[in-house]
Amino acid sequence: MTQQWPARTAGGPVNATVPVPGSKSITNRALVLAAIADAPSVLRAPLRSRDTLLMAEALRALGARIEDGPDGSWLVRPGELRGSARVDCGLAGTVMRFLPPVAALAAGEVVFDGDEQARVRPMGTVLGALRALGADVDGDALPFTLRGAGGLPGGEVVIDASASSQFVSGLLLSGARYDKGVVVAHEGEPVPSLPHIEMTVAMLREAGVVVDDSGRDTWRVEPGPVAGREWDVEPDLSNATPFLAAAAVTGGEVLVPGWPAATTQAGDAIRGILAEMGCSVELGADGLRVRGGELRGVDLDLHDVGELTPTVVALAVFASGPTVLRGIAHLRGHETDRLAALVAEVNGLGGDAEETEDGLLIRPRALRGGTWRAYADHRMATAGAIVGLRVPGVEVDDIGTTSKTIPDFPGMWAAMLGQR
């Protein structure tokens, strides 16, 4: 059900400390690796949102035991992977792209489906790759059925991953369990969001898996054991960006505690973006502190960090000059066509945004109140919340979609503004 939400207008500069829940990307990768490991694993401070709960439930259906720890952790005990299961992907790209390679190791039939909007998301690349590696799959998009034989030959496969880095990560995460491992080679336009693949490779190595990523657009995972281990989940840096943006658009100050000094998360790029747009950005022992200043228009290539685009657009509408965003044509295949959606919503409030071949052009113009549509897309919803800080009368038509990655975004937003 959708949840209409009047965006809260800031009465002045925001000044707050905002603890952010754990990373969705790290949590879901750690869940997959723990489920196919040789021994139990513990996930400390995992994110518990719709996407990660769907991942946990899907892995339970395939035979893993995932139990709650007393400190909010998850204890994962791997079990024999089995079929005769149904997987609800919701609208989670990580579930629909990471779980089929796991299900190929199970014995029996696994049926995948998800939300209505998920049925149009690109899936043919990963499913075609699994067929080439020896899997039996009916269908090229949700819903589809995979008939596992208790293992997969594996080997080499060539794919076009220009639509999503998740196609590569999904194959790599389970590759060590394939008889011959897996070699994934990409051919096509550059792979977007490469930091997410780098995160996958780093986490595989932390689990004792041998990975060679020295070749251009080629990743090799050797067959072998996956170690059970303790995973410490970092705060989700991409989910932190709307709160940092609140400081930027109101001339205030927001501190996000626990910001890592070194990370593979793509969201870390927000530090440089905010600094280029005119904010003061300080990373210290207490976390990341952002102080707002006069926002400047920028020219940015967001190819590797496209998930930050809605936040940057919400900042750009208040800048002193035009903003050009490049390298993000792949966002047309995300939860929604994010480029078309952002243009429609900015212009619907009286703004001036247009699509380019591979991105967006935003010219600042005074905005008015009105409905900001979320398109069942969590990052569209949070972008509307940012805009509403400065523009009275903005209503986000479905704030509930933020539960995909942030368990209580409305409550966190209200607490940041001191408006509970």
* Residue 174 annotated as binding site: no
Question: Residues 275, 280, 285, CA angle at the centre, nearest 5°?
Answer: 105
Query: Would you tell me how many other CB atoms lie within 10 Å of the CB of residue 192?
Result: 25
Could you give the angle at which helices 50-61 and 24-35 cross, rounded to 10 degrees? 10
Of the listed 307, 335, 354, 395, which one is catalytic?
A: 307
165 is in an annotated binding site: yes
Pairing outcome for strands 182-186 and 218-221: antiparallel
379 is in an annotated binding site: yes
Q: Is 238 annotated as a binding residue?
A: no
Q: How far apart are the first and last CA of the chain?
A: 23
25 labelled ligand-binding? yes
Confirm whether residue 121 is marked as ligand binding: yes
- DSSP 3-state of 152: coil
Q: Is 93 annotated in some ligand binding site? A: yes
What is the rounded distance in angstroms from the CA atom of residue 334 to the CA atom of residue 93?
8
Whether 44 has a binding-site annotation, put simply, is: no
Q: Is 373 annotated as a binding residue?
A: no
Q: Is 418 annotated as a binding residue?
A: no
CA 118 to chain centre: 15
Q: Report whether 17 contacts 246 (CB < 8 A).
A: no
Is 164 annotated as ligand-binding? yes
Catalytic residue status for 307: yes
Among candidate residues 89, 29, 79, 28, the one with its CA nearest the CA of residue 58: 89
Token digits of residue 349: 């409030």
Alpha-carbon gap, residue 110 to 387, rounded angstroms: 42
Pick out the residues of the known binding site. Answer: 24-25, 29, 93, 121, 164-166, 193, 307, 334, 338, 379, 404
Active site residues: 307
Binding-site residues for phosphoenolpyruvate, please?
A: 24, 93, 121, 166, 338, 379, 404
The annotated binding site for 3-phosphoshikimate is made up of 24-25, 29, 164-166, 193, 307, 334
